[in-house]
């Protein structure tokens, strides 16, 4: 019996016992949960019992289904019916209609671009499987990639596959993942570590959360594969403290994987051993920066340190450490399973695969989406996103959170990829996508992100600690219409200083929202300058001598 | 000198220099009498690269690098004093002045203050950023020492000397952003600290008048830093 069969036999027999006629899936993603989808699930379960359908119908909670705007969502398989805005009261009607025509008033059409134009790799299981059951993940070809890697491939083969796939880091920088893996694999040291960065802190970003809550086993499998490839025997998942559900589901998944001997000593009777521990962040945005994150795991204060040395050389407890973002790792099982060529055929020349966006703001279909790299922004926002609601006019889209920038209408037809975004002053970032309509002020937008950076600055280096306060105070003046022309000069001066002298990525990128709005919406800043103050800059805070 | 350490040759401001590979750009520049302004760095303590005053340009690199933590590399060309760097340094120094409450005229360290000295060296005669005027406390609960947070520049030398040299780890850092502050123990009053040995190393490494000995009036607090290189040199010999 080969390992695949063994795995199937071990875990899947329990599923066959539940071969139900109907599968009722209730979205238990954060968005739907906030609308009490857990109560809907209980109501549905109660109705199933009441209707005496225990044997032929199974109600289960699943990860994020994507269309958060229409939540709470419930889907019925195998019919493929999706219900939107479900309430507890609808439970009876839904169960009642299982063998009949679906409940028409609740149907959410799935032939729309939102569902048709997406391509799911990272989110392939999200909204389909119960994240709290390893059996369902295995049934969806889960852990096949790990077995394949451990039994048929050498660590070098695994790295070659990742290298050839063209996968680039989804945490913001877009660093080639294969190159990072090779560096760690070749680094000198007997003890190495793998870290999964789940400290997703950008305002409006919830991609990693979707994966951790909706498909936690995927991460565990990916980390084990990464551990095998680089020669690490221990992995840490660093999750931000606010994501309590992610922590709970990841811990449960780790426990289940250990019980099935998919983690622990001698996985699949190979010499490879791997264990994973969840570490919880204390809520600081900056702890997502890799050196700060390592400090957190070591139990120190989460502040960044100068690089080099890079973690790949000297990371956790001074050992070579591989740090990958959640979304990056979530691509790994699919790449190993389907091959590097399959992956590298998706996307553009420089950006392979798909990209997950958390679409929020003034857009019809807010939610979690995944599209191939190179999809034009217009398609994402207007076809998949359904455009700006209530007859509003599109103004800009903010990408990359506090480190990113605003993209105006004129660049909407540009294909999304790491390099194209960088060129126009935005970044791919972690994938937050905030749509802005003409009712919003871009100055306020910049002010919001600067306030965020001001609060989240760790205070270690001078330019970020003081510069963000200075810039925020200036932006308040612009927002209130009391700015002077000298303030604009000062603002640009500060942007340049903070960008070039800050210690870590947070500080270096903090001016980005200001710089990009100044680049495309300078007239909005000019409109906020008080006309009675002339160019000679006579204003309220003239120079004072140092005492 | 550690065995197996190689020597690298490179250029600082056009001058040909040589340094061991375990030395930083700052070490080698100092040896050759090339001045690079520093604030958080102190010989004998681990460098943290926080004040950013020692940023230098390396030809061919887009980023500015802090000289205090950048190891020397064969063939690198370092520029320590370009117009751009001077401008950045002056602005950074101004930032240190505006974020605290530095009133030199009534300060114990007037005339012996590194911040004041740097301002003079770098030609910062005025600041063009608005002052923050933060509300910061003074802790005089210790029998011999005082910490005046108004004058603290968050160089964290006290934190490092207490941890690395004295081994007490009484000092640490609390808060974030503009609210970041050095604390004794778990933000206890210094006088009630159970870990403080009263050695006074923190006071003498402090670059400004933030930490001082009681009984000193304006301009009377002279800091003795000689002990630190001596201590570390002696320890290395053992």
**Cβ-contact A198, A276 below 8 angstroms:** no
Residue B90 included in any domain: no
Using left for φ > 0, alpha for ψ between -120 and 50, and beta otherwise, residue A470 falls in alpha
Q: Which residues of B touch A457 (CB under 8 A)?
A: 176-178
- What pLDDT does residue B2 have? 67
Task: Please tell me if residue B177 touches chain A, with a CB cutoff of 8 Å.
Answer: yes
Average pLDDT of span B23-50: 95
- Helix (H/G/I), strand (E/B), else coil: A448: helix
Q: Are residues B36 and B150 in the same domain?
A: no
Q: Given a cut of 50, is residue A501 above it in pLDDT?
A: yes
The ranges assigned to domains in chain A are 21-110, 134-344, 354-438, 443-526
Task: Please tell me if residue B99 touches chain A, with a CB cutoff of 8 Å.
Answer: yes
Task: Please tell me if residue A501 touches chain B, with a CB cutoff of 8 Å.
Answer: yes
Residue B215 included in any domain: yes
Six token digits for residue B202: 């923190």
- What pLDDT does residue A545 have? 45
What single-letter DSSP state applies at residue A416?
P
Q: Are residues B145 and B224 in the same domain?
A: yes
Give the percent of chain A with pLDDT over 90. 75
Q: Given a cut of 70, is residue B238 above it in pLDDT?
A: no
Helix, strand, coil in percent for chain B, rounding step 5: 30, 20, 50
Looking up residue B182, the CATH number of its domain turns out to be 3.30.70.20
**Cβ-contact A336, A354 below 8 angstroms:** no
Least confident span in A177-191, A429-443, B86-100: A429-443
Q: Are residues B197 and B158 in the same domain?
A: yes
CATH number for the domain running over A21-110:
3.40.30.10
Please state, in angstroms and rounded to a whole number, the distance separating the CA atoms of residues B58 and B64: 7
Q: Do the bridges between strand B138-139 and strand B145-148 make them parallel or antiparallel, or are there none, so unpaired?
A: antiparallel
Q: Given a cut of 90, is residue A401 above it in pLDDT?
A: no
Q: Which residues of B touch A308 (CB under 8 A)?
A: 71
Residue of chain B whose alpha carbon sits nearest to that of A457:
B177
Indicate yes or no: CB of B98 within 8 angstroms of CB of A466: yes
- The 10 Å Cβ neighbour count of residue B234 is 9
- How many structural domains are present in chain B? 2
Of B50, B124, B154, the CB nearest to A546: B124
Of B63, B129, B154, the CB nearest to A470: B129
**Cβ-contact A416, A428 below 8 angstroms:** yes
Q: Are residues B118 and B34 in the same domain?
A: no
Looking up residue B47, the CATH number of its domain turns out to be 3.10.20.740
- What pLDDT does residue A104 have? 87
Q: Are residues B128 and B52 in the same domain?
A: no
Please state, in angstroms and rounded to a whole number, the distance separating the CA atoms of residues B105 and A321: 51
Please state, in angstroms and rounded to a whole number, the distance separating the CA atoms of residues B47 and B37: 14
Please give the CATH architecture assigned to the domain spanning A443-526.
Up-down Bundle (1.20)
Six token digits for residue A470: 């200075």
Residue of chain B whose alpha carbon sits nearest to that of A301:
B173
- What pLDDT does residue A5 have? 65
Residue A171 phi, psi dihedral angles, 5° rounding? -80, -10
Q: Are residues B38 and B137 in the same domain?
A: no
Q: Are residues B110 and B76 in the same domain?
A: no
Q: Given a cut of 50, is residue A539 above it in pLDDT?
A: no
Please state, in angstroms and rounded to a whole number, the distance separating the CA atoms of residues A420 and A399: 13
Residue B94 included in any domain: no
Q: Given a cut of 60, is residue A533 above it in pLDDT?
A: no
CATH 3.40.630.30 fits A354-438, yes or no: no
Q: Are residues B31 and B109 in the same domain?
A: no
Instruction: Look at residues A502, A499, A406 and name the one whose alpha carbon lies nearest to residue A446.
Output: A406
Mean pLDDT of chain A: 90
Residue B56 included in any domain: yes
Q: Given a cut of 50, is residue A17 above it in pLDDT?
A: no
**Cβ-contact A488, A522 below 8 angstroms:** no
Indicate yes or no: CB of B91 within 8 angstroms of CB of A497: yes
Of A286, A462, A490, the CB nearest to B52: A462
Of B64, B128, B176, the CB nearest to A458: B176
List, in order, residues 6 or more apart from A272 with CB less than 8 Å away.
A150, A227, A228, A266
Please state, in angstroms and rounded to a whole number, the distance separating the CA atoms of residues A499 and A203: 20
Q: Given a cut of 90, is residue A227 above it in pLDDT?
A: yes
Average pLDDT of span A334-350: 94
Q: Given a cut of 50, is residue B177 above it in pLDDT?
A: yes
Q: Given a cut of 60, is residue A16 above it in pLDDT?
A: no
- Helix (H/G/I), strand (E/B), else coil: B168: coil
Q: Are residues B117 and B216 in the same domain?
A: yes
Q: What is the pTM of this model?
A: 0.91
Instruction: Look at residues B94, B50, B44, B99 and name the one whose alpha carbon lies nearest to residue B210.
Output: B99
Helix, strand, coil in percent for chain A, rounding step 5: 45, 15, 40
Positive or negative CA dihedral for A386, A388, A389, A392?
Answer: negative
Q: Are residues B107 and B188 in the same domain?
A: yes
Q: Which CATH class is domain A134-344?
A: alpha beta
Residue B193: give the domain boundaries: 103-237
Residue B41 included in any domain: yes
């Amino acid at each position: 019996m080969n390992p695949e069969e063994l795995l199937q036999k071990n875990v899947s027999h329990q599923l066959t016992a539940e071969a139900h006629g109907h599968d009722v899936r209730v979205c238990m993603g954060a968005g739907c949960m906030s609308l009490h989808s857990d109560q809907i699930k209980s109501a549905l379960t109660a109705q199933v019992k009441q209707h005496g359908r225990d044997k032929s119908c199974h109600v289960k909670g699943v990860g994020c289904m994507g269309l958060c705007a229409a939540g709470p969502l419930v889907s019925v398989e195998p019919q493929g019916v999706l219900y939107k805005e479900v309430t507890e009261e609808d439970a009876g009607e839904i169960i009642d209609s299982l063998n009949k025509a679906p409940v028409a008033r609740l149907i959410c059409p799935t032939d729309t671009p939102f569902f048709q134009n997406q391509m799911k790799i990272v989110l392939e299981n999200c909204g389909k499987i119960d994240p709290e059951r390893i059996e369902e993940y295995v049934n969806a070809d889960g852990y096949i990639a790990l077995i394949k890697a451990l039994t048929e491939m050498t660590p070098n083969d695994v790295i070659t596959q990742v290298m050839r796939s063209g996968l680039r880091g989804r945490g913001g920088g877009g660093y080639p993942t294969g190159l990072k893996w090779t560096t760690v694999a070749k680094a000198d040291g007997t003890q190495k570590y793998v870290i999964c960065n789940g400290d997703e802190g950008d305002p409006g970003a919830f991609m990693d959360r979707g994966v951790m809550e909706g498909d936690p086993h995927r991460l565990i499998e990916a980390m084990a594969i990464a551990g095998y490839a680089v020669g690490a025997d221990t992995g840490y998942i660093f999750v931000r403290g606010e994501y309590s559900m992610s922590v709970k589901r990841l811990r449960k998944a780790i426990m289940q994987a250990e019980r099935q001997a998919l983690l622990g000593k001698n996985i699949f009777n190979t010499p490879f051993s791997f264990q994973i521990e969840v570490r919880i962040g204390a809520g600081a945005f900056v702890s997502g920066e890799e050196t700060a994150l390592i400090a957190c795991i070591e139990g120190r204060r989460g502040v960044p340190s100068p690089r080099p040395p890079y973690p790949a050389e000297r990371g956790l407890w001074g050992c070579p450490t591989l740090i990958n973002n959640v979304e990056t790792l979530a691509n790994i099982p699919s790449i190993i399973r389907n091959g590097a060529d399959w992956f590298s055929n998706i996307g553009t020349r420089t950006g392979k695969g798909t990209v997950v966006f958390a679409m929020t703001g003034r857009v019809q279909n807010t939610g979690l989406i995944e599209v191939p790299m190179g999809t034009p922004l217009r398609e994402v926002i207007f076809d998949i996103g359904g455009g700006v609601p209530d007859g509003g006019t599109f103004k800009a889209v903010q990408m990359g959170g506090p480190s990113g920038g605003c993209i105006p209408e004129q660049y909407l037809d540009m294909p999304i990829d790491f390099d194209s975004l960088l060129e126009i002053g935005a970044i791919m970032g972690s994938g937050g996508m905030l749509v802005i309509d003409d009712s919003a002020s871009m100055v306020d937008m910049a002010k919001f992100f600067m306030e965020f950076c001001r609060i989240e600055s760790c205070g270690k280096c001078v330019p970020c600690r003081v510069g963000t306060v200075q810039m925020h105070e200036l932006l308040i003046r612009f927002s209130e219409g009391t700015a002077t022309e000298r303030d604009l000069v000062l603002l640009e001066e500060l942007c340049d200083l903070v960008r070039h002298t800050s210690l870590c990525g947070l500080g270096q990128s903090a001016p980005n929202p200001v710089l990009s709005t100044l680049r495309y919406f300078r007239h909005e800043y000019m409109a906020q300058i008080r006309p009675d103050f002339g160019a000679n800059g006579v204003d309220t805070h003239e120079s004072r001598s140092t005492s | 000198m550690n065995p197996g350490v190689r020597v690298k040759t490179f250029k600082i401001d056009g001058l040909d220099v040589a340094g061991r590979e375990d030395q930083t750009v700052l070490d080698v520049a100092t040896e050759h009498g090339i001045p690079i302004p520093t604030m958080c760095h102190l010989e004998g303590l681990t460098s943290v690269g926080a004040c950013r005053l020692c940023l230098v340009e390396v030809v061919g690199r887009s980023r500015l690098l802090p000289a205090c933590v950048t190891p020397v590399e064969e063939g690198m060309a370092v520029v320590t004093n370009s117009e751009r760097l001077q401008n950045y340094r002056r602005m950074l120094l101004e930032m240190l002045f505006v974020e605290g409450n530095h009133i030199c005229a009534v300060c114990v360290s007037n005339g012996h203050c590194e911040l004041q000295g740097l301002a003079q060296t770098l030609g910062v005669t005025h600041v063009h950023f608005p002052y923050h005027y933060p509300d910061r406390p003074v802790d005089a609960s210790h029998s011999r020492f005082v910490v005046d947070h108004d004058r603290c520049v968050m160089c964290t030398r006290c934190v490092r000397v207490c941890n690395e040299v004295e081994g007490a780890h009484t000092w640490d850092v609390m808060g974030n952003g503009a609210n970041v502050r050095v604390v004794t123990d778990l933000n206890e009053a210094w006088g009630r600290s159970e870990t403080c040995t009263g050695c006074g190393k923190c006071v003498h490494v402090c670059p400004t008048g933030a930490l001082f000995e009681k009984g000193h009036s304006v301009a009377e607090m002279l800091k003795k830093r000689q002990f630190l290189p001596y201590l570390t040199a002696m320890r290395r010999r053992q």
